[in-house]
């Protein structure tokens, strides 16, 4: 990933994702499947079936991680194919409902691979064309089939003692995603025993992110439900409107760290309503930026050690990314004064994971300096092991 070869390989992968050629399909071409499996897939993905995924989860636990976040990488088509335009209204509805049902079953199947305290990652657009169209319109209420599916998923998550986080997506979808996620938090984040069950994702690279999160905190304060916050920098910079994103990386970094500091110290980033107590909040620091992660952990530890009020905090990174940051924390203090460390995994067949893999490759290309630091850490660890054995 730190090699100059990444750029041409990225172009090849993008061509492969967009192509309908049988020769370039991992599902139909064993050689293509083998090459992808042995290189980028095995680096970033947990497995193609339940057996492989459970083995990967156990490997992560053996390394010392508190738990995992698991998501089904399959992405549904964004809109109904042209050939569907000749279908009757009944046939079209059946096709839309079938996409939602497949998404629901895949999500529930994913949940069964997790244990108590782990996280289920959910993308609303994974429910197919019905979800995409509703989100694009900004519908404040999801279609009934999707609402029923999310109810079933959240009920199963709560019963298992796990948690679900709603992934952020492109800005064209995000305002509606936030509304749907708040409705789920309002419904499922009231049980004191396992609250919050639902976490929403906030992208710190958006100029509006602090105001959005602050508004949701005020709602939680006023209505008496717990707030679940997964904080990321943002993964859709290649697709989103640039004017809505902070002008510089330094601005994004400052915003990210400000939100983290505010929440851990139990303050609203832009101030709360007078006389309202700070709501119950759980924060997941989802970042590959080692400095931000270390700052969050140090602040959390400082408050816990000194008996100051804090909130539950956990940190985590994607499988195959910033592993030196993740593994640098799992062997730390085990007395509850440090946040739990998680790894985020995606599973599915090689073909189902192609879009996920392309985003990871693009993210590594845009974060080249961080990737070089990871490469240096890997070389250093390899040298340490070689010298230790000789």
pLDDT in tens, 119-141: 999 999 999 999 999 999 999 99
User: Residue 78: pLDDT above 50?
Assistant: no
* DSSP collapsed to 3 states, 288-342: CCHHHHHHHHHHHHHHHHCCCCCCCEEEEEECCCCHHHHHHHHCCCCCCCCCEEE
Residues in the chain: 390
Among the listed ranges 171-175, 202-206, 288-292, 331-335, which one has the minimum average pLDDT value? 331-335
pLDDT band at 235 (very low <50, low <70, confident <90, very high): confident
Question: 220: closest CA among 256, 189, 193, 176?
Answer: 189
Yes or no: say if 189 and 227 are a contact pair by the CB < 8 Å rule. Answer: yes
Residue 390 lies in a domain: no
Q: The tokens 């003692």 sit on which residue?
A: 161
Residue 388 lies in a domain: no
Question: What does the pLDDT average to over 200-220?
Answer: 96
Q: Concatenate the DSSP letters of all residues of 182-231 into one string.
A: HHHHHHHS--GGG---EEEEEETTBTTHHHHHHHHHHHHHHHT--EEEEE
Residue 92 lies in a domain: yes
CA–centroid distance for 371 within its chain: 19
What is the pTM for the complete model shown? Answer: 0.87
214 φ/ψ angles, rounded to the nearest 5 degrees:
-65, -40
**CATH number where 284 lies:** 3.20.20.220
Residue 325 has a pLDDT of: 85
Residue 91 lies in a domain: yes
Residue 1 lies in a domain: no
Residue 327 has a pLDDT of: 84
* Tally of domains in the chain: 1
Angle (CA) 139 141 147, round 5°: 130
Residue 226 has a pLDDT of: 96
Residue 117 lies in a domain: yes
Domain range holding 369?
6-383
Residue 276 lies in a domain: yes
Residue 189 lies in a domain: yes
């Amino acid at each position: 990933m730190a090699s100059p070869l990444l750029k041409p390989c990225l172009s090849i992968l993008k061509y492969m994702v967009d192509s309908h050629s049988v020769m370039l399909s991992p599902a139909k071409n064993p050689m293509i499947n083998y090459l992808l499996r042995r290189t980028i897939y095995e680096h970033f993905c947990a497995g193609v079936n339940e057996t492989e995924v459970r083995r990967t989860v156990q490997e992560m636990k053996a390394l010392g991680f508190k738990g995992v976040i698991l998501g089904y990488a399959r992405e549904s088509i964004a809109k109904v194919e042209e050939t569907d335009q000749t279908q009757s209204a009944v046939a079209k509805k059946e096709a839309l409902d079938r996409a939602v049902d497949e998404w629901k079953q895949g999500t529930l199947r994913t949940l069964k691979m997790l244990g108590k305290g782990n996280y289920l990652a959910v993308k609303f657009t994974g429910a197919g064309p019905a979800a995409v169209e509703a989100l694009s319109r900004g519908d404040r209420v999801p279609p009934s089939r999707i609402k029923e599916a999310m109810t079933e998923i959240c009920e199963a998550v709560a019963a298992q003692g796990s948690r679900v986080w709603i992934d952020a997506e492109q800005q064209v979808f995000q305002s509606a995603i936030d509304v749907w996620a708040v409705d789920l938090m309002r419904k499922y984040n009231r049980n004191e025993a396992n609250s919050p069950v639902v976490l929403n994702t906030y992208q710190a690279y958006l100029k509006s992110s602090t105001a959005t999160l602050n508004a949701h905190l005020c709602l939680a304060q006023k209505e008496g439900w717990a707030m679940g916050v997964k904080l990321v920098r943002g993964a859709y910079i290649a697709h989103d409107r640039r004017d809505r994103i902070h002008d510089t990386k330094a601005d994004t970094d400052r915003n990210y760290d400000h939100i983290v500091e505010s929440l851990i110290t139990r303050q609203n980033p832009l101030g709360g309503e007078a006389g309202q107590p700070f709501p119950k909040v759980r924060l997941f620091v989802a970042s590959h930026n080692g400095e931000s992660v270390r700052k969050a952990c140090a602040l959390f530890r400082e408050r816990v050690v000194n008996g100051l009020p804090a909130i539950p905090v956990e940190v985590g990174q994607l499988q195959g990314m910033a592993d030196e940051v993740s593994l640098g924390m799992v062997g730390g203090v085990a007395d509850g004064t440090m946040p739990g460390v998680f790894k985020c995994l995606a599973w599915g067949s090689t073909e189902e994971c192609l879009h996920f893999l392309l985003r990871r490759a693009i993210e590594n290309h845009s974060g080249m300096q961080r990737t070089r630091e990871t490469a240096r850490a890997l070389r250093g660890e390899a040298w340490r092991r070689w010298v230790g054995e000789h």
